[in-house]
């Protein structure tokens, strides 16, 4: 490109950026926004549809209505009441809440089982509403677009590899937008204000931050990142909440907490990862709902995500991913994958895997991080076609080839009857007949989770602390027992 033409293009881009300003609804200031409100809403709608399809909602109409009613009052009283606000509880074990552009907000059942009253819930939802009213996601997207205009940044993987390697789609990538310290502080302040305006006891906000930090320290195991992964800690948020409380001129004596009412709504809710959606025992992954199992290499880090089951080698230099590949036959799916630009097919086979029709091939591809080599296998099973992709850098692939082949060859029918019949844990409520410590409570009303985890979800610092008579306490029953040290699953 000639200097004159390049200068003209850059000048045109700069002019377009200069004209793309919008008034921030909260501050009233004009800010760069390369995304219009209609585009913001459309992006949010598309991403919300993907959340519904990949994560699903908790099948509890009463709980959904309860959460939505609390949230809608705050949203309609916010600076952007005209947005098509939607609020849903997603069927995910992670302790989190997240907002999509345009007013689509989600809380996880993992969050609901970890907090203890309606005021806490209101401050969390208010925080997410604050991200939307302050247009934080639009600001992040606009900054990314500006960076691409100026620097020509690309994705880590080439689009072809990213598409077939199970990388989150553009819509779901909105879930992983990271906000800076200023944005998080703004959302905290707005959440505090929105909840207070609905007469909630905002002193409970500090309890939320303590619980979230404790849960994150225990390394929870959901399918979306924990709160502190997507909400960078802007410092001492408990102290910031206390500072806001210190400036209040009104009394909080008659504000809403509604602990018992909140707990009644989460009674019976699935706790932790639902094993019916897949779980690991050692290196073997079982999926009772789809009736298959697969064994991953020893020592690899594994995770069950919305898009795929993923395993990474100890040195993070090789990956294996298992996911659904649609209704195509294995041969059709393999042909589609290998015909993509930038992918070079190697030796292939249509030999069945454990009696299931399959199409398997070596491949090489060029990414922005360098050349990779791998094996891809598509397997027909249970009326679906599953795709298994194992790859590493071309220099590292040889040392991982055997492990990848072994993992692919292990895919087959679930025959473990205990795994087939596994049931999830549930939250159960007990109103204490007498005062007792949490240790005493756990002896009389045992849970299938560790005592340390039980303390977290009941917001107790020590298991030796006494609980007054008449208080409602959560226990977790049924399902698979989680041993001390495994963390919140």
**Per-residue pLDDT, 62:** 98
Distance CA 213, CA 234 (A): 13
CB 255 within 8 A of CB 199: yes
**Per-residue pLDDT, 84:** 97
Task: Give average pLDDT by consecutive 10-residue segment, the chain, 489 residues.
Answer: 34 40 72 76 89 88 98 97 97 89 94 97 96 82 44 28 35 51 86 98 95 77 49 69 94 97 98 90 93 96 82 92 90 94 93 97 87 96 94 95 98 93 94 98 96 96 96 90 47
Distance CA 255, CA 196 (A): 8
* Burial degree of 96 (CB within 10 A; 0-12, 13-18, 19+): buried
Indicate the CATH number for domain 424-477: 3.10.350
Residue of 366, 367, 391 whose CA lies nearest to 377: 391
- DSSP letter string over 141-153? HHHHHHHHHHH--
Q: How many helices (H) and strands (E) does the chain have?
A: 18, 21
Q: How many residues does the chain have?
A: 489
**Per-residue pLDDT, 392:** 94
Distance CA 359, CA 329 (A): 9
Distance CA 480, CA 274 (A): 10
Specify the domain boundaries for CATH 3.40.1000.10 within the chain: 275-415
Specify the domain boundaries for CATH 3.10.350 within the chain: 424-477
Distance CA 342, CA 239 (A): 52
Q: Is 370 left (phi over 0), alpha (psi -120 to 50) or beta?
A: left
Backbone angles phi, psi at 470, to 5 degrees: 90, -10
**Per-residue pLDDT, 169:** 39
Dump strand ranges (E) for 342-419: 343-349, 358-367, 370-381, 384-393, 412-413
Give me the CATH topology for the region 275-415: Protein Transport Mog1p; Chain A (3.40.1000)
Task: Give the three-class secondary structure for 238.
Answer: helix
**Per-residue pLDDT, 184:** 82
**Per-residue pLDDT, 55:** 83
> Please, what is the end-to-end C-alpha distance for the chain in angstroms?
54
Q: Which two tokens stand for residue 105?
A: 């907000």
Q: Is 219 left (phi over 0), alpha (psi -120 to 50) or beta?
A: left
Task: Give the three-class secondary structure for 309.
Answer: strand
């Amino acid at each position: 490109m000639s200097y004159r033409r390049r200068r003209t293009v850059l000048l045109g881009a700069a002019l377009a950026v200069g004209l793309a300003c919008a008034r921030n609804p909260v501050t009233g200031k004009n800010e760069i926004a390369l995304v219009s409100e209609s585009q913001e809403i459309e992006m949010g709608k598309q991403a919300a549809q993907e959340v519904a399809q990949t994560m699903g909602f908790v099948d509890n109409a009463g709980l959904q209505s309860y959460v939505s009613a609390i949230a809608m009052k705050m949203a309609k009283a916010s600076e952007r009441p005209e947005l098509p606000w939607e609020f849903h509880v997603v069927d995910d074990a992670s302790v989190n809440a997240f907002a999509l552009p345009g007013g689509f907000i989600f809380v996880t059942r993992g969050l609901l089982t970890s907090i203890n009253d309606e005021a806490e819930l209101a401050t969390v939802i208010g925080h997410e509403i604050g991200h939307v009213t302050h247009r934080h996601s639009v600001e992040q997207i606009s900054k990314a677009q500006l960076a691409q205009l100026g620097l020509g940044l690309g994705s880590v993987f080439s689009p072809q590899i990213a598409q077939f390697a199970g990388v989150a789609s553009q819509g779901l990538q909105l879930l992983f937008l990271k906000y800076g310290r200023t944005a998080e502080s703004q959302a905290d302040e707005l959440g505090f204000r929105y909840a207070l305006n609905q007469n909630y006891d905002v002193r409970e906000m500090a309890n939320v931050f303590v619980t979230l930090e404790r849960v994150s320290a225990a390394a929870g195991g959901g399918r979306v990142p924990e709160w502190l992964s997507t909400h960078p800690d802007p410092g001492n948020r408990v102290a910031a909440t206390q500072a806001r409380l210190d400036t209040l001129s009104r009394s909080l004596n008659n504000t809403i907490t509604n602990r018992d009412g909140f707990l009644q709504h989460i009674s019976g809710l699935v706790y932790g990862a639902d094993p019916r959606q897949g779980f690991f025992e050692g290196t073997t992954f079982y999926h009772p709902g789809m009736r298959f199992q697969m064994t991953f290499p020893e020592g690899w880090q594994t995770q069950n995500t919305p898009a795929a089951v993923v395993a990474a080698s100890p040195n993070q230099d090789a990956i294996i991913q298992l996911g659904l590949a649609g209704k195509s036959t294995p041969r059709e799916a393999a042909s589609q994958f290998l015909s993509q630009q930038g992918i070079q097919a190697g030796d292939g086979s249509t030999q069945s895997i454990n009696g299931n029709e399959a199409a398997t091939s070596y491949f090489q591809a060029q990414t922005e991080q360098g050349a990779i080599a791998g094996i891809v296998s598509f397997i027909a099973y249970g009326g679906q076609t599953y795709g298994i992709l194992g790859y590493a850098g071309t220099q590292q692939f040889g040392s991982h080839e055997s492990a990848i082949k072994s993992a692919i060859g292990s895919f087959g029918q679930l025959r473990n009857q205990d795994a087939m019949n596994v049931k999830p844990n549930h939250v159960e409520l007990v109103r204490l007949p007498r005062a007792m410590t949490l240790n005493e409570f756990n002896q009389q009303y045992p849970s299938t989770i560790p005592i340390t985890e039980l303390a977290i979800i009941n917001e107790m610092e020590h298991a030796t602390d006494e609980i007054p008579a008449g208080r409602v306490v959560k226990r977790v029953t049924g399902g698979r027992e989680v041993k001390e040290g495994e963390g919140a699953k």
